[in-house]
């Protein structure tokens, strides 16, 4: 009992220490150490099986190319991610949690063991063959079924050794590797001395009549790809002990590509020599030495090979037992080793593992090739050589790799499709080539490329990218967005698709577009549109059809939908409420090349369906560009999806007026004020008035939910941030004053008073102005800050402080660029308004944004400030202080 | 809990070592050499079709 306890304790310790990140000072291996350890793992009696298998397919020269160059080529590529193991001191099983999720990783571990463990059945078969052949040489006949008994005895003894734990395994390995080297040397000497050199060098296999030499060569390359790729499972724990990335990488490449391949060639030499002498190709070194030299040498080698096979079986059971233990912590090591033993025993009972050696190699590679591709692409192209280690170790509060209940659906789908792709090319069981062109790449390489490209392309889709890159905070892309980049024209091939999408989106809302004064107006011209909701981006292209246009878009949209798509749609990226000279230059470029430039001058969605004041800068821009000015006033877009509750209201009806308000002739003659007046007049709107006048019924039961964000002040008791909303009601949490929203967008008090929502909204603004005038206004609260430097990702800037007073904003936060806790000032007069959100992407609730040229800071309340953080009030103060309403 | 603390402190140390480049990185030169070996191997494999 005490021994069992010790073994379990040893294994627990091994598993625990085996999964911990290895610190630099604990690293043991230089290049040579790692090379020897990995070479030792790659050298096993199955190398002879591989060598003799290759000799049945191709001549010796092609065999050499396959064994060395194919192995090295594949290793050079798929060993590259080993760099991460060295850098972080972790094995790939930890890293794979980021690719498949912790639970998905368990499934992948089981699959890997299922496809890998037949190697050990090969060892048991070789052990049985050796025994039978040698006993036969001495004239001893065995009973029927003796082969199975012998192979099972190898399983049993190997399993018993594995069950004895780390100490026994260490000794086994110390004896095993020199023994195998000794056998290898003996085979080389006997093989090359017993047949003439040119017999081996000029060897060509006798192929069946229908055999294709090219197909056989490809199968050789495939077998070598598969041979090296399927050994990665057992080698995965070594690189993390290396002292440098280069030593870990090249030790992996050469351990398999040179030492492992050398023994494959030795196996081939042995098989060729045996065929030359006896006419029979064998993969058993014992038989070969007994036949080609002296029986006594065969007998000695029997002992070596027998022990080697048992030892390999024992080491394999141990390595995979520990690997399983680290994944399935609750199951005892003993049980896991016994399960592995049973699996190998079943393969021995089946008895055809040697016959189907090539098939099982390819099936193994079918799994490993996509796995290797996922690791490669994930490391270099998606995570850019960074991993969130705390999430990989599932530490509390670090859940980036939990994905969908512990499964990364994208990674798992890619693995499955990569596996299926191989089968589409080649049937490894029947040996049938389905697609000869792709087969020329070899099934393993084709699957590697297919899976890698698929994973990479999927990662470019913004929604998927956000799903698989939940760890961006650990390694964000900090490069600032290139605002000066010349915007492409709207893609002509993309345009019909865009119109179709727009048409489909607006069709439930019966969009009607009226055009006024548009006769003879052709691009280039400037369009100023009202801005109510995302629906604006669907209505505008339809209103401007058949012309293409360019649009100004906040960078956040680029991040949300992907830069490539936004560029195809003709978007110019910018940040809100900054003096962006690059944007002006790009607008001028768009007009100069004869296109339409669409600008939403309010630069923010309407909070309650009414327009914001416009600034003279838009009229100055029109005068500078000297092109006609067209306004697009869209109605119903706000009603369909108000910013304070983004659920779509099916009852909304859309209408748009496209009108030329300043012709090319007039733009030079009219003053800035006159142009501004014309634009402002046409872009004046009141969505609730439009709803009431057109009797647009919106009867969704939840129609008032969220209305307390813009209507934050109680009309009765005057308390700020006291309002709440549910269903079709908005009420005060403090005094209980309640209003019901009717189906035409009017609010009714319990006393029968009818309230027009924009009136309530503007009533609040007056109080903020008063607070500021009387010097009472000051916001000083803790906030959570995220920066958006580019179209790729947000960067966590920690918890800071937001202060707003008569001087403007002061934002204190962790500046990721300087890596210091800093304060940025945003003078009041530098911004006429502020971007606000009421529940930004369901992340942390309401937010406001402040921008510099290279960053947009998304500012959210903390738990402490949630009750006093209201974007609407902050916006009112900003607009007053910035001069928009003074 | 102890094992979590142990892992966390190790991770912090590893990240610090990463910043300080304690574990020597693969250099640009190393990557170029790897690329050359890969291409040469590939050319060798292609050459094998003509044997």
Q: E strand or H helix at A688, and its extent? A: helix A687-693
Residue A594 pLDDT more than 60? yes
Instruction: Verify that A508 and A450 share a domain, yes or no.
Output: no
pLDDT of residue A593: 93
A13 pLDDT higher than 70: no
Chain centre to alpha carbon of residue A438: 27
CA distances from A309 to A123, A165, A183 (A): 5, 18, 12
Cβ atoms < 10 Å from Cβ of B47: 12
- CA A56/CA A50 separation, integer angstroms: 10
A440-449 pLDDT, tens digit each: 888 888 999 9
Specify if A326 maps to a domain. Answer: yes
CA atoms within 13 A on the CB side of A879: 24
What is the reported pLDDT for A1?
Answer: 41
Same domain for A347 and A328, yes or no, is yes
- Rounded to a whole number of angstroms, the distance from the CA of A71 to the nearest CA of chain B is 9
Is A87 an interface residue toward B (CB < 8 Å)? yes
* Range list of β-strands (E), A456-595: 512-516, 525-529, 549-554, 571-574
Q: If you average pLDDT over each of A245-249, A451-455, A813-817, A844-848, which comes out highest?
A: A451-455
Closest partner residue to A395 among B7, B13, B49, by Cβ? Answer: B7
For residue A353, pLDDT beyond 90: no
- Whether residue A169 has pLDDT greater than 80: no
Q: Given this model, what pLDDT does residue A294 score?
A: 66
Statement: residue A522 has pLDDT above 90: yes
Distance (Å, whole) CA A327 – CA A102 = 9
Q: Answer whether residue A484 is part of any domain.
A: no
3-state secondary structure of A812: strand
Residue A783: closest CA among A869, A851, A700, A679: A869
CA-to-CA dists, residue A251 to A35, A143, A592, B37, angstroms: 4, 46, 59, 15
Q: Is residue A288 predicted with pLDDT exceeding 80? A: no
Is residue A483, in this structure, part of any structural domain at all?
no
Cα distance from B26 to chain A (closest Cα, Å)?
6
Q: Are A327 and A106 in contact (CB under 8 A)?
A: yes
Which of the pair, A698 or A296, is modelled with greater confidence? A698
Pairing of strands A729-732, A738-741: antiparallel
Identify the residue whose tokens are 């009030």.
A873
CB contacts of A16 in chain B (<8 Å) are 3
In the predicted model, is pLDDT for residue A137 greater than 80? no
Q: What is the pLDDT of residues A175-185, one digit of tens each?
A: 777 777 777 78
Q: Does residue A819 share a domain with residue A764? A: no
Mean pLDDT confidence for B30-45: 94
CA dihedral angle for residue A40, residue A45, residue A48, residue A54, rounded to 10 degrees: -80
The CATH number that applies at residue A593 is 3.40.1130.10
Average pLDDT, chain A: 88
Alpha-carbon span A757 to A731, nearest angstrom? 14
Q: Which is nearest to A285 in space by CA: A160, A389, A187?
A: A187
Tell which of B42, B45, B46 to mutate to test the A interface (max A CBs under 10 Å): B45
* Alpha carbon distance A821, A785 (integer Å): 12
Q: Which residues of A touch B33 (CB under 8 A)?
A: none
**Residue A526 shares a structural domain with residue A555:** yes
Q: Are residues A581 and A710 in the same domain?
A: no
Supply the pLDDT for residue A18. 60
Q: Do B34 and A390 touch (CB under 8 A)?
A: no
Q: What is the CATH number of the domain that holds A80?
A: 1.10.4160.10
Domain with A861 in it: what CATH number?
2.30.29
CA distance A142 to A374: 49
For residue A385, the tally of other CB atoms under 10 A from its CB is 15
Mutate: best of B18, B48, B50, B51, partner A, most A CBs <10 A:
B48
Residue in A366, A188, A372 with CA at minimum distance from that of residue A270: A188
A572 in a structural domain: yes
Residue of B3, B23, B46 to mutate, interface with A, max A Cβ within 10 Å = B23
Contact A87 B23 (CB under 8 A): yes
Q: Is the pLDDT of residue A17 over 60?
A: no
Length of chain A counted residue by residue: 886
Domain total in chain A: 4
Strands A808-815 and A820-827 turn out to be antiparallel
Please judge whether B30 and A246 are an interchain contact, meaning their C-beta atoms are less than 8 angstroms apart: yes
Q: Which stretch of A33-42, A66-75, A189-198, A655-664 has the lowest confidence by average pLDDT?
A: A33-42
Nearest chain B residue (CA) to A60: B51
pLDDT at A870 over 50: yes
In this predicted structure, what is the pLDDT of residue A234? 61
Average pLDDT over residues A278-298: 73
Distances (CA, A) of A450 to A370, A453, A454: 8, 5, 6
Q: Is A170 exposed, middle or buried (0-12, 13-18, 19+ CB in 10 A)?
A: exposed
Same-domain check for residues A645 and A710: no
B29 and A CB contact within 8 Å: no
Is the pLDDT reported for residue A332 higher than 60? yes
Shortest CA gap B12–chain A (Å): 9
| A17 in B contact zone (CB under 8 Å) | no
Parallel/antiparallel/unpaired status of strands A795-805 and A808-815: antiparallel
Does the pLDDT at position A519 exceed 80? yes
The Cα A199–Cα A457 span in angstroms is 50
Contacts with B17 from chain A: Cβ below 8 Å: 23-24
Residue A31 has what pLDDT?
Answer: 87
- Contact between A328 and A336 (Cβ < 8 Å): yes
| A476 within a domain of the structure (yes/no) | no
What domain range includes position A33? Answer: 29-129+141-468
Contact status of A80 with chain B (Cβ, < 8 Å)? yes
Please provide the DSSP assignment of A25-52 as one string.
GG--B-HHHHHHHHHHHH-STHHHHHHH
Looking at the structure, tell me whether residues A766 and A787 fall in a common domain. no
């Amino acid at each position: 009992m005490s021994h069992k306890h010790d073994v379990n304790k040893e294994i627990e310790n091994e598993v625990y220490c085996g999964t911990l990140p290895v610190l630099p000072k604990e690293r043991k291996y230089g290049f040579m150490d790692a090379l020897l350890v990995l070479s030792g793992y790659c050298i096993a009696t199955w190398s002879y099986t591989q060598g003799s298998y290759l000799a049945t397919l191709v001549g010796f020269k092609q065999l050499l190319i396959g064994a060395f160059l194919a192995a090295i080529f594949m290793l050079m590529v798929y060993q590259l991610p080993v760099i991460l193991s060295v850098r972080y001191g972790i094995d790939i099983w930890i890293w794979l949690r980021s690719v498949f999720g912790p639970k998905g990783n368990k499934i992948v571990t089981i699959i890997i063991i299922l496809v890998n463990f037949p190697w050990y059945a090969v060892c048991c078969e070789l052990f049985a063959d050796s025994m039978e052949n040698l006993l036969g040489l001495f004239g001893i006949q065995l009973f029927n079924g003796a082969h199975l008994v012998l192979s099972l005895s190898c399983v049993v003894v190997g399993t018993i050794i594995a069950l004895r734990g780390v100490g026994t395994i260490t000794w086994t390995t110390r004896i095993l590797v020199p023994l195998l080297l000794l056998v290898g040397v003996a085979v080389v000497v006997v093989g090359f001395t017993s047949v003439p050199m040119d017999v081996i060098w000029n060897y060509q296999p006798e192929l069946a009549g229908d055999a294709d030499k090219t197909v056989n060569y490809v199968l050789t390359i495939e077998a070598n790809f598969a041979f090296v790729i399927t050994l990665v499972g057992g080698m995965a724990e070594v690189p993390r002990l290396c002292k440098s990335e280069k030593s870990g990488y090249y030790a992996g490449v050469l351990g398999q590509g040179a030492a492992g391949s050398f023994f494959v060639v030795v196996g081939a030499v042995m098989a060729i020599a045996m065929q030359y002498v006896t006419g029979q190709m064998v993969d058993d070194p014992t038989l070969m030495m007994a036949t080609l030299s002296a029986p006594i040498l065969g007998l000695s080698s029997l002992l070596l090979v027998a022990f080697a096979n048992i030892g390999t079986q024992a080491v394999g059971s141990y390595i995979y037992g520990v690997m399983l233990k680290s994944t399935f912590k609750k199951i005892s090591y003993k049980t896991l080793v016994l399960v592995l033993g049973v699996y190998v025993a079943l393969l021995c009972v089946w008895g055809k593992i040697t016959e189907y050696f090539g098939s099982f190699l390819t099936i193994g590679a079918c799994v490993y090739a996509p796995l290797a591709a996922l690791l490669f692409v994930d490391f270099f192209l998606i995570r850019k050589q960074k991993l969130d280690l705390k999430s990989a170790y599932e530490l509390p509060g670090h859940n980036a790799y939990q994905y969908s209940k512990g499964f990364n659906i994208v990674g798992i789908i890619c693995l499955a499709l990569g596996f299926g792709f191989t089968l589409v090319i080649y049937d490894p069981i029947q040996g049938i080539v389905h697609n000869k062109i792709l087969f020329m790449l070899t099934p393993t390489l084709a699957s590697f490329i297919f899976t890698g490209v698929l994973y990479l392309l999927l990662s470019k889709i913004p929604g998927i990218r956000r799903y698989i890159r939940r760890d961006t905070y650990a390694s964000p892309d900090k490069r600032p967005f290139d605002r000066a980049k010349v915007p492409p024209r709207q893609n002509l091939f993309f345009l019909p698709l865009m119109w179709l999408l727009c048409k489909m989106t607006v069709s439930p809302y019966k969009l009607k577009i009226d055009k006024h004064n548009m006769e003879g107006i052709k691009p280039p011209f400037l369009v100023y549109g009202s801005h109510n909701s995302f629906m604006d981006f669907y209505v505008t292209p339809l209103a401007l059809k058949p012309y293409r246009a360019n649009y100004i878009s906040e960078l956040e949209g680029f991040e949300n939908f992907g830069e490539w798509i936004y560029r195809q749609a003709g978007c110019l990226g910018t940040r809100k409420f900054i003096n962006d000279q690059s944007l002006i230059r790009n607008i001028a470029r768009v007009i100069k090349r004869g296109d339409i430039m669409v600008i939403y001058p309010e630069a923010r969605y309407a909070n309650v369906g009414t327009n914001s004041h416009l600034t003279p800068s838009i009229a100055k821009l029109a005068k500078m560009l000297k092109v006609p000015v067209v306004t697009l006033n869209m109605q119903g877009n706000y009603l369909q999806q108000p910013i304070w509750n983004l659920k779509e209201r099916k009852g909304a009806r859309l209408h748009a007026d496209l009108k030329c308000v300043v012709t090319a002739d007039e733009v030079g003659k009219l003053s800035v004020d006159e142009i501004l007046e014309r634009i402002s007049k046409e872009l004046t709107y009141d969505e609730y008035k439009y709803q009431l006048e057109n009797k647009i019924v919106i009867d969704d039961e939840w129609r008032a939910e969220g209305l307390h964000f813009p209507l934050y002040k109680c009309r009765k008791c005057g308390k700020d941030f006291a309002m709440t909303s549910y269903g079709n009601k908005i009420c005060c949490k403090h005094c209980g004053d309640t209003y019901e929203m009717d189906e035409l967008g009017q609010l009714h008090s319990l006393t029968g008073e009818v309230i027009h929502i924009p009136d309530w909204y503007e009533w609040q603004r007056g109080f903020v102005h008063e607070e500021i005038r009387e010097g009472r206004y000051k916001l000083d609260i803790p906030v959570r800050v995220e920066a958006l430097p580019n179209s790729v990702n947000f960067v966590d800037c920690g918890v800071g402080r937001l202060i707003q007073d008569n001087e403007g904003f002061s934002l204190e936060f962790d500046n990721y660029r300087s890596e210091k806790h800093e304060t940025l000032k945003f003078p009041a007069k530098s911004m006429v308004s502020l971007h606000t959100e009421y529940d930004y992407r369901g992340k942390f609730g309401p937010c406001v944004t402040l921008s510099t040229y290279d960053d947009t800071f998304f500012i959210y309340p903390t738990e402490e400030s949630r009750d006093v953080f209201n974007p609407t009030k902050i916006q009112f103060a900003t607009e007053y202080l910035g001069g928009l309403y003074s | 809990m102890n094992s979590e603390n142990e892992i966390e402190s190790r991770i912090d140390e590893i990240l610090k070592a990463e910043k300080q480049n304690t574990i020597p990185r693969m250099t640009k030169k190393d990557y170029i050499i790897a690329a050359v070996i890969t291409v040469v191997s590939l050319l060798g494999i292609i050459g094998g079709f003509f044997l």
